[in-house]
Homo-oligomer: A and B are copies of this chain.
């Protein structure tokens, strides 16, 4: 299985329909963009060995929180993904609040708000 196939399998498991949705929304403007996401983000990153999926979501939730609220849609997608990968609500809350130390208090509070929105929708 090459990286694209491996990425497609994982992306379908974690975010069913995502590749099609990207293609439909962005494909006419940036042809091949969806396949690039599947191959690189999923096939060559999340599907790699050496770090379990729960830890990968911890890393992503931490980074998007610290980078600030402008990535709120993606933060919410990854909080939901982390829940599927087995993270508890508490673990996610802890990761986000710890980011007060690195991204500042406003970023951490905005991150908690994103988490609450995801948890309320569960």
Render A62-83 as a binary contact track against B, CB cut-off 8 A, 1 for contact. 1111111111011000000000
* Residues on the B chain within 8 Å of A103, using CB: 63, 67, 104
Interface size (A, Cβ < 8 Å)?
60
Among B40, B59, B94, contact of A51 (Cβ-Cβ < 8 Å)? B94
Whole-angstrom distance between the Cβ of A76 and the nearest chain B Cβ: 11
Q: Majority SS of interface residues in chain A?
A: helix
Which A residues contact B (CB, under 8 angstroms)? Answer: 3, 25-26, 29-30, 32-33, 36-37, 39-41, 44-46, 48, 50-51, 55-56, 58-71, 73-74, 89-91, 93-107, 109-110, 112, 115-116, 119
